[in-house]
Amino acid sequence: MNDISPIRATSGTNQEGTSAHNRRVMIDALRLNGALSRADLARATQLTKQAVSNIIDELERDGFVVSLEAVRKGRGQPSTPYRLFPEGAFAIGLQIDRHLTRAVAVDLVGTVLARAEANLPPDDPSGGVKIILGLIEGIRGELAMISEQSEKRLVGLGVAMPGPFGLEEFGDNKWMMPAWQKYPLLETLAAGTGLDVSLQNDSAACAIAERMVGAAHGLDHAVCLYVGYGIGAGLILNGELYRGSYGNAGEIGMALLSPRGADGAVLEHRASLASLYQQIELNPSDADLYEHVAALAEAKDPALLAWVNAAAQDLRWSIQLIETIFDPQTVILTSGAPEALARLILQAILPLPPSIANRPDRALPRLQLGITDPWSIALGAAAEPISRAFDPRFSAILKTRTDGL
């Protein structure tokens, strides 16, 4: 009997002029499911067997997939499974935050191969960029020691930093890093590295990391609620990251907590890690901050718990609003905070108030814990160039069809 277990994949199209989309569909199916045979791929992507064979041959020739030892299922002919070749592509991800920067290099399947971090001078992007370029140079050197093909197969540099982006009035808002926002960052990094450079906010980067290697892996509709120095929501809609008109989709940290905004309070002023540091008088530039917060969370420090319980009230409302607007399969709580603190926040948020997400047939919890790792933003930043180069995009296939009319 043939194996007919479900395989997660995006559908391809057998129309002419869509080979680039179908290549992406094939790579995505292998990323989601691991090793698959040509028959499995044809069944999952709804492409003809001939189309699948042609694409697999092309991907194998180009160094993106490799064949494994043939396996026999039942009485039929043995089939050859294929999987992604990790060294088929590499990318570098960069996190820029108020006090530090982190850089990572990943391969095609999202494995972190090298990483480094450094402190940044406050409000000095020109000085900070020199530090960043040195960090990236070191990462590229480590990558070259791992693979001789790394420079040839380096698809880009992804940058993640706090948003929102492109607003006229910055004032002295510490959350928005005004000096960095006004600096020609992408142009400077592109000139200094020779790479294609892209920018996204930190919550979007967390969502991409969750989609590649975390709780959103294989999901078409998920919202990642990021609680970091600020607060944001990374939106995965129809299997793609939704960025909005200006790259600011999901900036819920800027949402007013009062209907009339009388006190001017927004969500991230009361429920972000910045508000925690302020309330319990911690220095966010302290080199031992992560370990200190982890120790306080493990000990269930009363001052920290007071902040957790107050923040949970606002976050609970935010999740109900996210569910009502986006109807996701699940909401994923992500954070650069230690896991012990993230779990305290999750526990304090529950139970969630009623919403349209209350369904008897739910396969996933309404709220679950995602990646809690200070390196997750840099990982998501690195995953963005990989995603841009290899993930199927519905908008791209629409454009292809329109161009062919």
- What confidence tens digit (pLDDT) does each residue in 98-130 have? 889 999 999 999 899 999 999 998 789 999 999
pLDDT given for residue 98 in this prediction? 82
Report pLDDT digits (tens) over 239-270: 889 998 888 888 888 887 755 444 567 888 88
Distance of CA 259 to the CA centre of its chain: 31
Both structure tokens of 166: 């492109």
Nearest-angstrom CA–CA distance, 254 and 232: 8
- Pick 87-201+380-390's CATH classification: 3.40.50.720, 3.40.190.10, 3.30.1330.10, 3.30.420.40: 3.30.420.40
Average pLDDT for the chain: 87
Q: What is the pLDDT of residues 23-81, one digit of tens each?
A: 988 998 898 888 999 999 999 888 999 999 999 999 999 999 999 988 877 666 788 99
pLDDT band at 286 (very low <50, low <70, confident <90, very high): confident
Residue 307 confidence (pLDDT):
97
**Residue 5 pLDDT exceeds 70:** no
Q: Which among 70, 62, 3 has a CA at the least distance from the CA of 27? A: 62
Asked if 384 and 198 touch (Cβ cutoff 8 Å), the reply is: yes
Band (172; pLDDT cuts 50, 70, 90): low
For the segment 296-323, the average pLDDT, to the nearest whole number, is 95
User: What is the model's pLDDT at position 8?
Assistant: 59
State residue 104's pLDDT score. Answer: 97
The better pLDDT of the pair 85, 21 is held by 85
Q: Which residue has the tokens 């990391």?
A: 209
Domain 1-84: CATH class, spelled out: mainly alpha
pLDDT of residue 182: 87
User: What one-letter code names the amino acid at 39?
Assistant: A
Nearest to 232 by CA among 262, 282, 271: 271
368-403, pLDDT tens digit by residue? Answer: 999 998 898 999 999 999 988 887 764 444 343 334
Q: Which residue has the higher pLDDT, 236 or 10?
A: 236
With respect to CATH, is domain 205-378 assigned 3.30.420.40? yes
Reported as half-sphere exposure (CB side, CA atoms, 13 A), residue 368 has a value of 15
Question: Cβ atoms within 10 A of the Cβ of 283, count?
Answer: 11
What percentage of the chain reaches a pLDDT higher than 70? 88
**pLDDT(4) > 60:** no
Phi-psi region of 186 (alpha: psi -120 to 50; beta: other; left: phi over 0): alpha
Mean pLDDT of the region 294-306:
97
pLDDT of residue 291: 94
pLDDT (0 to 100) of residue 18: 63
Domain boundaries, the chain: 1-84, 87-201+380-390, 205-378
Length of the chain as a residue count:
405
Cα–Cα distance, 84 to 391 (Å, whole number) = 13
pTM (two decimals) = 0.85
| Same topology between domain 1-84 and domain 205-378 | no
The yes-or-no verdict on residue 223 having pLDDT over 50 is yes
What are the residues facing 237 on neighbouring strands?
240
More confident residue, 87 or 389: 87
> Quick one: CA torsion of 29, 32, 35, 36, rounded to 10 degrees?
-40
Report d(CA 378, CA 104) in Å as an integer. Answer: 6
